[in-house]
Amino acid sequence: MTVVLRSLSALDLPVLEQLHRESFPEDPWSARSFGELLALPNTGGLLVQANMDPLGLLLWRVMADEAEILTLCVRPPARRRHVAQTLLARAMDTFPKAGAHRLFLEVAEDNAAARALYKGLGFCEVGRRRAYYRRPGGMKTDALLLEVMLTDE
């Protein structure tokens, strides 16, 4: 199996919508939303494919000396094969070249898989938004703001 990471383009919009819906069925992003984000000058992303089949995506923005992960997802059948880790490691390598010294993201407190992934990459909790994400049955869960330093500066 040949795994390839490549930059997102406007041609990927339907695939991005499909990948996002599979991982976030309760709040999927449309192809149009992805297109509007990717049209911004400070936004970029990666798609990972195996034998041309899309496995996952990562979208980010860089503002001044900070980068932010906007969304990340891996198709359920492709999980636990270090796809997300590879995507993030590649992106974290490139952010300092764009001037970013630190990376932020938000994760739901009840998202154990994502929190374990980010912990393994060195992220630390630096903030919290109470009851930020809605859950079935009227429940809510906090959003954790995580940060990792990308350089020594």
Q: What is the nearest approach in angstroms of ligand COA to the Cβ of residue 33?
A: 16
Q: Kindly tell me which of 80 and 130 has the beta carbon lying closer to ligand COA.
A: 80
Question: At residue 94, what are phi and psi to the nearest 5 degrees?
Answer: -90, -25
Dihedral sign for Cα atoms in the order 134, 136, 142, 144? negative
The least distance separating ligand COA from the CB of residue 92, rounded to whole angstroms, comes to 13
The smaller minimum CB distance to ligand COA, of residues 113 and 149, is found at 113
- Which distant-in-sequence residues (6+ apart) come within 8 Å of 52 by Cβ? none
8, 37, 38, 84: which one binds ligand COA (CB under 6 A): 84
Four-residue CA torsion sign, 130, 132, 133, 135: positive
**What is the Rg, in whole angstroms, of the alpha carbon atoms belonging to the chain?**
15
CB of 152 to ligand COA, least distance (A): 25
Range 2-31, binding ligand COA (CB under 6 A): 23
Closest C-alpha among 2, 5, 125, 111 to residue 58: 5
| Position among 21, 61, 79, 101 found at the interface with ligand COA (CB under 6 A) | 79
Distance CA 3, CA 124 (A): 29
Q: Which is nearer to ligand COA, 62 or 74 (CB)?
A: 74
Provide, rounded to whole angstroms, the least separation between the CB of residue 46 and ligand COA: 13
